Amino acid sequence: MPELAEVEFFRKQWDCGLGQKIIAVQLHPRKRIFRGTDARRIVDLLSGRRLLRSFARGKQMLFEFSAGNWIGVHLGMSGKLRTEPAGFRPEKHDHFVLQQLQQALVLRDARLFGRVRFHHGRSEPEWWRAGGPDISADKFDRRFLNAFLDRHARAPIKAIVLMQNGFAGIGNWMADEILWRAKIAPSVLAGALSAAQRARLLRETRFVASELLRIIGPDFSDPPADWLIHQKWKRKGVCPRHRSSLRHETIGGRTTAWCPRCQKS
DNA sequence: ACCCCTGTTCGGCG
DNA sequence: CCGCCGAACAGGGG
């Protein structure tokens, strides 16, 4: 599920625990979600610490705890954050639980494609520093976009829009929404995009990202009925502009829905 | 039973 | 180095 706006929604689910101590950590160190991390250190170092603040960038989240402790969370395909009443007992897929006096902060991830990382140090972990700019940041501009498109000039634009170091937080359905709005066929090679297409791509990427943050971010509301997303998974989905049939094909290894009538090469 | 999936990484190939 | 492909990860839903 989680793309940029949903990640922001889930990040906020733990806000009610801000400023409060972690009195117990519940996890299974061998679970795949902790791959590359010594989960036992999380148990040792997080207990007794306070949750201070949290950040989201693209599909990544970062939670800062007192005494220089940091938890990075990527939700993968099926990860979700939520809270439960104090004393909550983890269920089958609740792989990471931070117990506080007032509530429990819970990460559930049935498929375990997500990832939890730990960093102990004075400043943000190195793996948080890496990665592309926020789409809402000034740095995500025409110059950045041009350089990124030219660096991957021979890949179809659909594949480009899914690259997290260029389009942070864009996932499969947001990518289709953006390309549909920008009127660009998903198979067009990045290097072949005209200046006008690049300008539309930049504008619609920003538009879709900011609109979804506004709509989904606070309470997971639905996008308006005339968005492509509502048609994309229907077998007989139609273009919201003129009701003609959408085409479905695999591009960049991912199922893609698009409108041949309004999306041009 | 079978096929699909809002993600990422890896090895092999050209 | 670039890009593509399929597989793998693990489970739920149609």
Q: What CATH superfamily is the domain A4-129?
A: MutM-like, N-terminal (3.20.190.10)
pLDDT of residue A185 exceeding 70: yes
Q: Give the tens place of pLDDT for each residue, A9-55.
A: 999 999 999 999 999 999 999 999 999 999 999 999 999 999 999 99
- Residue A80 phi, psi dihedral angles, 5° rounding: -145, 145
8 A C-beta contact, residue A102 and residue A116: no
Look up the CATH number of domain A142-258.
Answer: 1.10.8.50
Q: Which amino acids of A are annotated catalytic?
A: 2-3, 59, 254
Q: Nearest nucleotide, C1' to the C-alpha of A170? A: B6
Q: At what angle do helices A172-181 and A195-219 cross, to 10 degrees?
A: 130
pLDDT of residue A1 exceeding 70: no
What residue has its CA nearest to the C1' of C9?
A113
Residue ranges matching CATH 1.10.8.50 in chain A: 142-258
- What's the Cα-to-Cα distance from A39 to each of A4, A30, A96, A176, A248, rounded to whole Å? 26, 8, 10, 37, 42
Residue A233: pLDDT band (50, 70, 90) is confident
Q: Provide mean pLDDT across the span A117-134.
A: 91
User: CA A133, CA A150: separation in Å to the nearest integer?
Assistant: 17
pLDDT of residue A169 exceeding 70: yes
pLDDT of residue A217 exceeding 90: no
Bridge partners of residue A45, in order along the sequence: none
Q: Give the tens place of pLDDT for each residue, A239-258.
A: 999 899 999 999 988 999 99
8 A C-beta contact, residue A202 and residue A149: no
- Which pLDDT score is estimated for A176? 95
pLDDT of residue A235 exceeding 80: no
Residue ranges matching CATH 3.20.190.10 in chain A: 4-129
8 A C-beta contact, residue A156 and residue A221: no
Strands, sheet with A69-74, edge to edge from the N-terminal-most edge strand: A51-57, A60-65, A69-74, A115-120
Q: Nearest nucleotide, C1' to the C-alpha of A173? A: B6
Q: Nearest nucleotide, C1' to the C-alpha of A5? A: B6
- Which pLDDT score is estimated for A218? 86
Helix (H, G, I), strand (E, B) or coil at A217: helix
In 3D space, the residue among A78, A59, A62 whose CA is nearest the CA of residue A168 turns out to be: A59
Instruction: Report pTM.
Output: 0.95
User: CA A103, CA A125: separation in Å to the nearest integer?
Assistant: 27
Bases of strand C lying below 7 A from some protein CB: 2-7, 9-12
- Residue A115 phi, psi dihedral angles, 5° rounding: -155, 140
Q: Provide mean pLDDT across the span A176-199.
A: 95
Residue A193: pLDDT band (50, 70, 90) is very high
- What's the Cα-to-Cα distance from A37 to each of A17, A26, A117, A175, rounded to whole Å? 24, 15, 6, 31
Q: CA of A50 and C1' of C5: distance in angstroms?
A: 46
In 3D space, the residue among A128, A237, A111 whose CA is nearest the CA of residue A173 turns out to be: A237
